[in-house]
Amino acid sequence: MNILATVKQWFLRRRDRKAKAFASSYADLVDLYKAGLVFAKGTGQSITGISAEITSRVNIPLKVSVSHGTYFVSRGNHQNMVTRRKYQFELRPLGTERIHVPASCINASLPIPKESDRFRGVSRVSRNVQRFMEAAEGEDAMVIQAGV
């Protein structure tokens, strides 16, 4: 085995050990992303949603929770998008889950994302915006957009 393959295996085993702490119950997507256990990306759709891909970077199945206030980080000159509803799904070892995420724009001074716009990574909005998103779940998308 060459040195590169050995190093890759070492990193994978290290991430797997980290993942065991998250594997017993649903874990927040942002926490999993910050721990390096998943990769999150997306493409713009409109002012009301994005298409997202969450990819596992570990050999252990994960239960993923996308909570209110999770936002997908813009990779260009367009708005970040915050989720409008909670998602939960199971992610196979080294697998990818594709989801459509109802979302709202959170940077009013920037353009609305289009299908050609990309997102990479996730983060959390402020606690106040997160509480608003929880309370507004189920409301019309434009009402939530105005509130954000």
pLDDT tens digit sequence for 91-132 = 999 999 999 988 999 988 888 888 888 999 999 999 999 999
Q: Are 102 and 87 in contact (CB under 8 A)?
A: no
Global pTM reads 0.87
- Give the other-Cβ count within 10 Å of 3's Cβ: 7
Distance CA 31, CA 92 (A): 17
- Which helix (DSSP H) or strand (DSSP E) does residue 91 occupy? strand 87-91
Mean pLDDT (whole number) for 42-51: 86
Residue 8 token pair: 């890759």
Please give the share of the chain, as a percent, with pLDDT higher than 70. Answer: 99
Distance CA 15, CA 136 (A): 36
pLDDT for residue 1 is more than 70: no
Residue that has been written with the tokens 């997102």 in this structure? 119
pLDDT at 24: 83
Mean pLDDT (whole number) for 60-68: 94
Q: What is the DSSP letter of 69?
A: T
Q: Which of 129, 130, 125 has the alpha carbon at shortest distance from 72?
A: 125
